Amino acid sequence: MVLHEIVEKIGFKILAGQESLQAPVTHAYISDILSDVMARSQKGTLWITNQTHMNVIAIVFFKSLSGVVFPEGLIPDDDVLAKAREKHIAVLSSELSAFDIAGRLYAMGIRG
């Protein structure tokens, strides 16, 4: 599935990386432990996290993840969003909980 399809179906707010919404999404991963994401995520993963600091953008970039979703209306600081825009990283936000986002992704056929 392509990221823009997920954005439309779930109703994510696009905070950065509009130009990256053609990225394929093959997996989803939920974790707030950055080393866990580094070790277990893979290209094509959509990451769901409550962490909103700059290191999140670095991990998405270095692991070639499809993007990052912040649940429960979380929005990172402007400097984090500026770095995401610079690196063309899709940064999304949702009022849904991480659990609800994962459930909707699962129902769409996206697995961990």
Phi, psi values for residue 13, rounded to 5°: -90, 130
Q: For residue 59, tell me if it sits in a domain.
A: yes
Q: How far apart are CA 65 and CA 47, in angstroms?
A: 7
The CATH number for 45's domain is 3.40.1390.20
In a domain, 20, yes or no: yes
- Domain hosting 22: range is 3-107
Total structural domains within the chain: 1
The answer as to whether 112 is a domain residue is no
Domain contains 10: yes
For 103: left if phi > 0, alpha if psi spans -120 to 50, otherwise beta; the answer is alpha
pLDDT digits (tens, 9 = 90+) for 49-93: 999 999 999 999 999 999 999 999 999 999 999 999 999 999 999
Tens digit of each residue's pLDDT (9 = 90 or more) over 75-84: 999 999 999 9
